[in-house]
Amino acid sequence: MAPPAVAFLQARLAHLGHYAGKVDGDYGPRTAEAVRTFRLREGLAPAQRMSPQAWRRLLALTGHPSELYELGAASVIEAGGDPAGLQPGPAGADSDGGPRAVIRLRRKSVEVRSADGVRILPAAVGSPRHATPTGDFRVRRIVRLPGGLLGTCHIQFEPDGLSIHGTDQPWRIGREVTLGCVALYNRDIDALAASIRPGSWVTVVE
């Protein structure tokens, strides 16, 4: 991998908290271990090199900055990447240009990324005994509700295991108190539901 591509990789891994070394373009042991940690955290096979799937996961979490394309396809191929799957598009958006949501459990927030920028929504997440699952989930169904325990909207996903809904208990927001689901203020779940649709992707990371 060319040094500029390594530096790009190091900066993105550092942004996600996997790399604490110097961004110097050197694919040394610390960078290799950071790649391995990233792959494990994202549910990929443990390895110290990037793969097409790993590159796509990295870009899904950190956006599609134009610097990557300035490196040229050769650098991506050397990195084990797939230039055909790395077409420029709005940062963090789905391939069709629609918004993409990223749930950050440690920050207890939902980031809604679109061509217009990033909106941060405070959230309640799973308790230590009922952790919210991590990974990629596709919106299966959006159900409008009159209020109550699930608030004004319930967004269901596939595979099963994740849901996002509103709440009639706003004091829970910002805490680890749910049974694994993600809860938002009703105004925020309504805004999220209006910006995504069945088939949209949501990524959950620590």
* Residue extents of the structural domains in the chain: 3-85, 100-205
Rounded-to-integer distance, Cα 14 and Cα 7, Å: 10
Q: Which of 18, 153, 154, 181 is catalytic?
A: 181
Instruction: Please tell me the CATH superfamily of domain 100-205, with its number.
Output: L,D-transpeptidase catalytic domain-like (2.40.440.10)
Q: How high is the pLDDT of residue 129?
A: 92
Is 18 an annotated catalytic residue?
Answer: no
Annotated catalytic residue within 18, 153, 154, 165: 165
- Tens-digit pLDDT profile for residues 60-79: 776 544 444 334 333 443 34
Burial pattern 6-29, b for ≥16 Cβ within 10 A else e, equals bbbbbebbeebebbeeebebebee
pLDDT tens-digit series, residues 179-200: 999 999 999 999 899 888 888 8
Query: CA 27 to CA 16: how far, in whole Å?
Result: 18
Q: At 92, which helix (H) or strand (E)?
A: none
Q: Which tokens in the block code for residue 170?
A: 């706003």
CA angle 103, 157, 195 (to 5 degrees): 65
**The model's pTM:** 0.55
Structure tokens at 45: 């096979």
Q: Which residues contact 194 (CB under 8 A, 6 or more apart)?
A: none
CATH topology of domain 3-85: Muramoyl-pentapeptide Carboxypeptidase; domain 1 (1.10.101)
Tell me: pLDDT of 174 over 70: yes
Please indicate whether residue 181 is annotated as part of the active site. Answer: yes
pLDDT for residue 95: 43
